[in-house]
Amino acid sequence: MCGIAGVMTWDGTPPDPALLDRLQAALAHRGPDGQGRLVRGGVALVHTRLAIIDLDTGDQPLFAPGGTALVANGEIYNNPELRTAMAGAPFRTRSDCEPAVFIYERDGDGFADALRGMYAIALHDERRERLVLARDPFGIKPLYYMQTGTQFIFASEPQALRGAQHEIDPIRRAELLQLKFTTDSETIFPGIHRVLPGETLVVERARIVARSRRAALPAGRPEPIRPAAAVDALERVLLDSVAVHLRADVPYGLFLSGGIDSSALLALMTRAAGTRIRVLTCGWEGGGAVDESREAERLAGLMGAECHRLDMSRRDFWQFAPRIAAAIDDPTADAAVLPTWMLGRAAREDGLKVTLCGEGADELFGGYSRYRKRRAPWRFFARKPRSKGLFGDSLALSGWRAGLAAAEAAAGRDRTPLQAAQATDIAEWLPNDLLTKLDRCLMVHGVEGRTPFLDPVVADFAFRLPDDLKTSVRFGKVLLRDWLARAFPEAGAYARKQGFKPPVGAWMAAEAACLSELVAAQPGVGGLVPGELVRAAFAAAEASPQPAWSLLFYALWHSRHVVGIDPAGDVGEVLAAARAQARPRPSITYMNPMISVS
C-alpha cells in the first residue's frame, strides 16, 4: 500500500525535478517506509512505500525483462497463484505487485484482468513509448490525473495535483451538498479527473489514446439456487476471500462495529487465521442508542479476540474535525469519516499496518432499506433512491442529479430493479463515498484497509443471487444473515441494522448558535446557502443531523482545500481563520467552552 504519481511530457523533455519533489512530498503520508523514483526520457514515476509484503526487497519501481517499469498502490492477493502459473519467470523480488508487470509484457493492455486485489497501477512501456494506468474494478484504491498543454500528470490523491488552483466545479459542489458525494470521472476540482473503477488508460505523448473497462459485476439477471446450497456456497466463497486478504508480512487486525458485516469477518478471520485476532472498535462518550461498541467487545471476547475499544468524545469532534475534513481531499460528507479517522489513528498507535473492514457487504448482499423498496410490488409505490436530495428545492443547485441518473440508466440494462439499484451504488456511492472515506482516513495514518467483501470471487457469487436471498419484507442481507446465524449464533444475525453513526447531531446541537453563525459566514457557504437555512439546519441538528453536518463539513473542507487554512486548530479556530482571510472583521469572543473565535 503506497502512494504513486508520475509525469509524461508531450515532447520527451525530462519532467521538472521540483514537480516530482512536490508530488512525492504530497504523498509521503501514504508511504512512510520508503521512496522510489524513475526518470526515463519524458516519463517519471514516483513512489512512496508503506511496506506490507516483501519488506526487504519490495521497493519500487519494479521491472520486467523487457524494461517495462511499474509503480503500484495496492495489494495483489493472488500473487502466489500468479507466480506459480508463471514458473520460470525471472522474478527479482517477492513483491505481490511484481507479477503484474510481467503479465503486461505478456498480455498487453488487458493485464489487469488477471489480478485479484485492490490496486492503482502505473506502467511505463519504454519500448512502445507509452504510459498505462489501471485501477481495480471496485475503485478501492484511488487514482487521479490532469492534462496540461505540455504534460500528463497523475497521483493517488487530487491534493497532490492541485498546486495553487482554487476553483471548484459548481455541479460537483451541488452533488456534494445534495448526495454527500460526487459522481463519475470529474472531481470537484476542474481539470482533475478520476481514473474510473476498473478503467485502464493508455497515454502517449501526454495524451490519452485508448480506454478500456473491467466490470466489477457479472452481466445478467439472478440465477436460481436452493437456500441451503447458497449458505454452503457462501461459506466457501467468504472463507476463500478472507484467507487471501490475510496475506501480509506485518501485523493485521479488524475494525469491529458490532454489526452483521464485521461480525461475519470476525468469525471468518478466526477460522482462517488460526491465531488470536486483534480488534478495534469505537464508541461514543456517554454511549447512546447507536453505540454498538460494547456489543463488539462482547463478540470479540466470545471469539477469543484481543479488543481495543476507544471512545470518541465531543471534544475529540471539535479538536479533530478540521483535520479529518482536510484528509478527505476528494470530499464526502459522510459522518462516518469521524470514527474511521479515529480508528485509523488507533490502529497505527497499536502497531497495526493492516485492518480488515466490512465495506461492500451492503451493496453486494442487499443491505439497504432502499433495496427492499426495489422489490416488486413495493417498487411501484416507492420513490427512486436519492430522488429528492438532502436540501430538496431549498437551494438553487442545478444539475446535481445528472451524474447519478446516467449511472442508473447504465446499471439497469438486463437486470432486476434490485440489481440495478445495487449496480448504481457500486458504480458511484461505493467508490466515491465509502471507499474514499476508508482510503483517506486510514492512509493519512499510514494504515491499509482491506475489504474482503469487495472481491471478484465474492461479487461473482453474490450479485447472481436471487432477489429473495438478498432482501425480504423485514431484512436486507438475507443470505449473509442466515450464514451468520449458523456460523456465529451469538452475533444476533437478525437484529435490526444500526449503522456506524456517531452522535454528531448532539455534538453540533450543543453549539448550534455559535456554529450556525460561523458556518453562515464562511466564504464557501455565504452566498450559496441563505443564513436562515444554515441556522435552521443547526437548530434541527439533533433530530436531523445530516444537513448541519454537510454544511459544517463543507465549510471545514473549503477552509483547507480552497482558502488554504492550516487544519491544526479546533473547529472554531479554523472557521474563524477562514472567515477572517476572506473578510477581516473586528475581534469577537464567543463565551463558549468549546469554541474560541477571533
Model confidence pLDDT, tens digit, residues 244-299: 999 998 999 999 999 999 999 999 999 999 889 999 999 998 655 578 899 999 99
Residue given cell 471468518 in the structure block: 268
Q: Are 93 and 249 in contact (CB under 8 A)?
A: no
Question: What pLDDT is stored for residue 394 in this prediction?
Answer: 85
> In the predicted model, is pLDDT for residue 498 greater than 80?
no
Question: What pLDDT is stored for residue 167 in this prediction?
Answer: 87
The CATH homologous superfamily of the domain defined by 227-372+430-491:
HUPs (3.40.50.620)
| Cα torsion through 159, 160, 163, 166, rounded to 10 | -10
Question: What pLDDT is stored for residue 1 in this prediction?
Answer: 60
The CATH homologous superfamily of the domain defined by 2-143+195-213:
Aminohydrolase, N-terminal nucleophile (Ntn) domain (3.60.20.10)
Cα–Cα distance for residue pair 420/397, rounded to 1 Å: 26
Q: pLDDT tier at 588 (50, 70, 90 boundaries)?
A: very low
Question: What pLDDT is stored for residue 586 in this prediction?
Answer: 40
| Cβ partners under 8 Å of residue 487, min gap 6 | 235, 264, 267
Question: What pLDDT is stored for residue 519 in this prediction?
Answer: 97
Q: How many C-beta neighbours within 10 Å does residue 101 have?
A: 28
Q: What's the maximum distance between 2 C-alpha atoms anywhere in the chain?
A: 73
DSSP codes joined into one string, 538-580: HHTTTTSHHHHHHHHHHHHHHIIIII---TTS-HHHHHHHHHH
393 burial via Cβ count (<10 Å: 0-12, 13-18, 19+) = exposed
Name the DSSP class of 48: E
> In the predicted model, is pLDDT for residue 112 greater than 80?
yes
Burial readout 476-501 (b: 16 or more C-beta within 10 A, e: otherwise): bbbbbbbbbeebbeebbbeeeeeebb
Burial readout 249-272 (b: 16 or more C-beta within 10 A, e: otherwise): beebbbbbbbbbbbbbbbbbbbeb
HSE at residue 71, side-chain half, CA atoms within 13 A, is 30
Q: pLDDT tier at 378 (50, 70, 90 boundaries)?
A: low
Query: Given strand 252-255, what is the order of strands in its sheet?
Result: 306-312, 278-284, 252-255, 354-356, 448-450
What average pLDDT does this structure show over 57-83? 94
Question: What pLDDT is stored for residue 589 in this prediction?
Answer: 35
Q: What is the pTM of this model?
A: 0.95
Cα–Cα distance for residue pair 403/408, rounded to 1 Å: 9
> In the predicted model, is pLDDT for residue 593 greater than 70?
no
What average pLDDT does this structure show over 375-399? 81
- Lowest-confidence region among 90-94, 444-448, 523-527: 523-527
Going through 371-492 in order, the beta strands assigned E by DSSP cover: 448-450
Q: How many C-beta neighbours within 10 Å does residue 80 have?
A: 14
Name the DSSP class of 71: E
Q: Are 30 and 23 in contact (CB under 8 A)?
A: no
Q: Which three cell numbers stand for residue 499?
A: 449503522
What average pLDDT does this structure show over 420-440? 98
What is the per-residue pLDDT across 157-209, written as a single tens digit (0 to 9) for each?
Answer: 999 998 766 789 999 999 999 999 999 999 999 999 999 999 999 999 999 99
DSSP codes joined into one string, 268-303: HHHHHH-SPPEEEEEEETT--TT--HHHHHHHHHHT
Q: pLDDT tier at 49 (50, 70, 90 boundaries)?
A: confident
Residue given cell 439497504 in the structure block: 368
Q: Which of 46, 116, 112, 41 is nearest to 77 (CA)?
A: 116
Residue given cell 487486525 in the structure block: 253
Question: What pLDDT is stored for residue 597 in this prediction?
Answer: 35
Cα–Cα distance for residue pair 202/211, rounded to 1 Å: 6
Amino acid letter, 248: A
| Cα torsion through 417, 422, 428, 432, rounded to 10 | 160
CA angle 173, 174, 175 (to 5 degrees): 90
| Cβ partners under 8 Å of residue 495, min gap 6 | 260
- Is the bond leading into 567 cis (omega within 30 degrees of zero)? no
Packing angle, helices 227-245 and 260-273, rounded to 10: 70
378 or 557, which is more confident? 557
542 burial via Cβ count (<10 Å: 0-12, 13-18, 19+) = middle
The whole-chain average pLDDT of the chain stands at 92
| Cβ partners under 8 Å of residue 302, min gap 6 | 490
What average pLDDT does this structure show over 468-485? 96
What is the per-residue pLDDT across 301-331, written as a single tens digit (0 to 9) for each?
Answer: 999 999 999 999 999 999 999 999 999 999 9
Question: What pLDDT is stored for residue 383 in this prediction?
Answer: 73
Residue 20 DSSP SS3: helix
Cα–Cα distance for residue pair 543/546, rounded to 1 Å: 9
Residue given cell 514537480 in the structure block: 19
DSSP codes joined into one string, 106-147: HHGGGGGGG--EEEEEEEEETTTTEEEEEE-TT--S--EEEE
CA 328 to chain centre: 10
Cα–Cα distance for residue pair 445/430, rounded to 1 Å: 22
Cα–Cα distance for residue pair 105/100, rounded to 1 Å: 9
Domain assignments of the chain as residue spans, ordered by start: 2-143+195-213, 227-372+430-491, 504-582
